[in-house]
């Protein structure tokens, strides 16, 4: 009995050490974004005109079976594809970087396609206080500084775009209300990233006909990275995912459906 208790104590201690390590070490986790669970993403922003999109884009080599597909972007000038990740209202000083993969499936008719893939970062500088000003949020008040990071290749297949706090933006910083730092690393401690916007196309007709896909958007804060994997459906990772009708929105990794909750639980437990 004594020996058994010692083993049990050692096991508990070991688990406590592991839990401590998990809290203190940088972590990377994958979040699957599906048509029925956007995980806090806004897909797409509602004010940019209708652009057909879905989660059945081409598979990335290490990104499951699907991706977020959009286009072709139609003729209206304000039509573009714009999405917003759930990381909003965050301290700039906690930001560690953003990366994404994109695949241009059909080029824009009006300009180089790679110019049409970019990320905007909207910052509320602490230099003029936190909060926004002006009679019209859209024209005078909804950000102090806007940084843009533009993709630079349209090679066939998947390409990547990434930046961090030290990366120089691709074009001059759009500034309102206060002087803006040359890079995100230049902000005072209380300054905040209001939101990121990932764009396919711009608010002109130069993006007409663009079709592309996004996948594996990685966003790092406080040393921890979340990788958003766009997939046409979610796969259960444990039996609880199957319960409360969860099985109806889940599939096996090969895309096949479950007959019922028990079928789903068996798959979650055994992989078969
Ligand atoms: Ca994917
Ligand atoms: Ca347009
Ligand atoms: Ca401000």
Give the distance (Å) from ligand 1 centre to CA of residue 59: 6
Q: What is the mean pLDDT of residues 110-124?
A: 91
Specify the DSSP class assigned to residue 170.
S
135 Cβ neighbours under 8 A, 6+ residues apart = 141
Q: In whole angstroms, give the CA distance from residue 70 to residue 212.
A: 6
131 CA → ligand 3 middle, Å: 5
Ligand 3 centroid distance, CA of 231 (Å): 37
Ligand 2 centroid to 113 CA: how many Å? 13
Distance CA 10, CA 24 (A): 21
pLDDT at position 251: 87
The per-residue pLDDT of the chain, averaged, comes to 86
Dihedral (C-alpha) 31, 33, 36, 37: value to the nearest 10 degrees?
50
Q: 171 C-alpha vs ligand 3 centroid, how far in Å? A: 21
Query: Nearest ligand to the C-alpha of residue 65?
Result: 1
Å from CA of 32 to ligand 1 middle: 8
Tell me which ligand sits closest to the C-alpha of residue 123: 3
CA of 54 to the centre of ligand 1 (A): 12
Give 45-103 pLDDT, tens digit per residue. 987 776 878 898 999 888 888 999 999 998 888 889 999 999 999 999 999 999 999 99
148-159 residue pLDDT tens: 999 999 999 999
Q: Which ligand is nearest to the CA of 229?
A: 1
Distance 154 CA to ligand 1 centre (A): 19
Compute the 3-state secondary structure of the chain and give helix, strand, coil in percent, each to the nearest 5: 25, 30, 45
Q: Which ligand ends up closest to the CA of 227?
A: 1
Give the Å distance between the CA of 51 and the centre of ligand 2.
10
Distant-in-sequence, close-in-space partners of 227: CB < 8 Å, separation ≥ 6: 28, 29, 30, 31, 216, 217, 218
For residue 116 the two structure tokens come to 């049409």
Q: Distance between CA atoms of 99 and 106, rounded to whole angstroms? A: 22
Q: On the CB side of 137, how many CA atoms lie within 13 Å of its CA? A: 4
Question: Which ligand is the nearest neighbour of the Cα of 200?
Answer: 2
- Rounded to the nearest whole angstrom, what is the distance from the C-alpha of residue 197 to the centroid of ligand 2? 16
What pTM was estimated for this model as a whole? 0.82
**C-alpha span between 268 and 135 (Å, rounded):** 54
Ligand 2 centre to CA of 115 (Å) is 13
**pLDDT (tens digit, 9 = 90+) per residue, 209-258?**
999 999 999 999 999 999 999 999 888 989 999 999 999 988 887 778 99
- The Å distance, Cα 13 to ligand 1 centre, comes to 38
212: helix, strand or coil: strand
- CA–centroid distance, 93 to ligand 1, in Å, is 29
The Å distance, Cα 225 to ligand 1 centre, comes to: 17
Ligand 1 mean position, distance from CA 113 (Å): 22
């Amino acid at each position: 009995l004594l020996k058994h208790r010692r083993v049990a104590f050692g096991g508990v201690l070991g688990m406590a050490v592991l839990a401590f390590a998990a809290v203190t070490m940088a972590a990377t986790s994958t979040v699957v974004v599906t048509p029925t669970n956007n995980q806090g993403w806004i897909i797409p922003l509602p004010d940019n005109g209708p652009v057909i999109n879905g989660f059945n884009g081409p598979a990335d080599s290490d990104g499951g079976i699907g991706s977020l597909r959009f286009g072709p972007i139609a003729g209206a000038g304000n039509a573009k594809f714009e999405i917003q990740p759930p990381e909003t209202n965050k301290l700039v000083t906690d930001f560690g970087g953003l990366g994404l993969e994109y695949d241009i499936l059909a080029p824009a008719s009006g300009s180089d396609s790679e110019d049409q893939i970019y990320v905007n970062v909207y910052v509320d500088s602490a230099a003029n206080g936190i909060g926004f000003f002006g009679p019209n949020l859209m024209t005078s008040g909804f950000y102090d500084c806007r940084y843009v990071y533009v993709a630079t290749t349209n090679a066939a297949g998947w390409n990547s775009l990434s930046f961090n706090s030290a990366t120089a933006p691709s074009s001059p910083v759009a500034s309102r209300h206060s002087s803006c730092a040359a890079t995100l690393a230049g902000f005072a401690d209380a300054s905040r990233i209001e939101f990121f916007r990932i764009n396919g196309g711009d608010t002109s007709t130069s993006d007409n006909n663009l079709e592309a896909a996004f996948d594996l958007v990685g966003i790092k804060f406080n040393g921890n990275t979340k990788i958003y994997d766009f997939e046409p459906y979610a796969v259960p990772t444990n039996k609880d995912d199957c319960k409360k009708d969860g099985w109806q929105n889940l599939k096996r990794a090969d895309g096949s459906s479950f007959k019922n909750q028990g079928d789903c639980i068996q798959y979650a437990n055994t992989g078969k």
